[in-house]
Amino acid sequence: MTLSEQEAALLVALQRGIPICERPFEVLAKEQGLAEDDVLAFIRQRLTDGDARRFGAVFDARRLGYRSALCAMRVPTGELSRIAAVVGAEPGVTHCYERKPTLQPERPCPNLWFTLAAPAPIFNQTLDALRAACAPVAIDELPAVQRFKIDVVFDLRTRNRDERVEPRNKTDLNARLVESVNERQQAIVRLMQGNIPLAGRLFEAPATQLGLSEAELIEQLKSWQERGVLRRIALLLRHREIGFTANGMCCWEVPAEQIQEAGRRVAAFPEVTHCYERPPTDYFPFRLYAMVHTPSAEKTRALYERITRDAGLVPGELLLSSMEFKKTSMQFF
């Protein structure tokens, strides 16, 4: 995808999220020196071309009472496709990748990685059912202990250098409050988490469908955004289609007493899109995880080495995604 400087700036703004008001695209258009119709046409083209997955709301799963975790498996090569299909059939699995170590290829690393989310009361039940379906191949649960960074924003103007991200401070996940969501609010989430029909008055048609006034829907969305339930309403891109083809999971072994400072240092790199502390396992001793995307495996490895060096970390492992089995958005309620 080739864009002008103005179009690239608009693409970044759309990923960061639109203002929640009666005519959000008009407000955004004025900020970008464009007309409202130009912005709407640009979004429609990205969706038509397949550069974007959807235009809709991004909610915080934990605030809505969901629990999620990264899971890892060591699957025999001949069983990989079958097990990946079993894992991918679970609706709560949103991402599923084959990943391979690049620094020490013979290291006994997990080769199938996936994220699982489910309502907190039934998360363990869901994971146990998946474990039974995949037996005898074991599933290791690697939940986030601390989250240092999240929220991806792709900038095509810096594609050959990095993937730009909205800055976020570290958040202690255990301190976050779960929102009480009634049936009407659940209906709002169900509708807004999909592709929202594009129109100048974006919230008018969804409000009518929900039996609300436009003002009531806007007020609810604003309230959720202020409390962190709604992260943003934005354009979500397909990173591979726009040139960020190399997906790398960076892992470092960091002593527990040093994890906060190390996590902050790694999260400060603009190329890092996600950064977490996760529990180490007997065979995979890494505690600090970060995700990066670049146009090539070579650039990803060079980036990993630079982050390791500049953050003062001991080299760990870089796992490159070699196969994408599933990538979808979470569906709540």
Looking at residue 151, what is its pLDDT?
56
The class of domain 1-49 in CATH terms is: mainly alpha
Percent of the chain with pLDDT over 90: 79
Report the alpha-carbon distance of residue 115 to residue 330 in Å, rounded. 10
Residues 320 and 248: beta-carbon distance below 8 Å: yes
Looking at residue 243, what is its pLDDT?
57
- What count of other Cβ atoms lies within 10 Å of the Cβ of residue 313? 18
What pTM, to 2 d.p., does this model score?
A: 0.82
Looking at residue 161, what is its pLDDT?
39
User: Residue 279: left (phi > 0), alpha (psi -120 to 50), or beta?
Assistant: beta
pLDDT, tens digit, for every residue of 88-112?
999 999 999 999 999 988 888 999 9
What fold does the segment set 64-168+240-327 form as a domain? Alpha-Beta Plaits (3.30.70)
Active-site residue set: 95
Segment 63-77 mean pLDDT: 95
pLDDT, tens digit, for every residue of 170-184?
344 444 468 889 999
pLDDT, tens digit, for every residue of 190-237?
999 999 999 999 999 999 999 999 999 999 999 999 999 999 999 998
Token pair in block for residue 164: 């730009």
Looking at residue 20, what is its pLDDT?
98
Please say if the pLDDT value at position 239 is more than 70. no
As to burial, measured by CB atoms within 10 angstroms (0-12 exposed, 13-18 middle, 19+ buried), residue 217 is buried
Q: Where are the domains of the chain?
A: 1-49, 64-168+240-327
Q: At what angle do helices 24-32 and 36-49 cross, to 10 degrees?
A: 100
Residue by residue, DSSP assigns 157-197 as GGTTT---B-----B-GGGPPPPP--HHHHHHHHHHTS-PP
Q: Helices in the chain by DSSP H: which ranges?
A: 5-16, 24-32, 36-49, 80-88, 123-134, 183-192, 204-210, 214-227, 259-267, 297-310
Chain centroid, CA 133 distance in Å: 26
Three-class secondary structure of residue 279 per DSSP? coil
Give the total residue count for the chain.
333
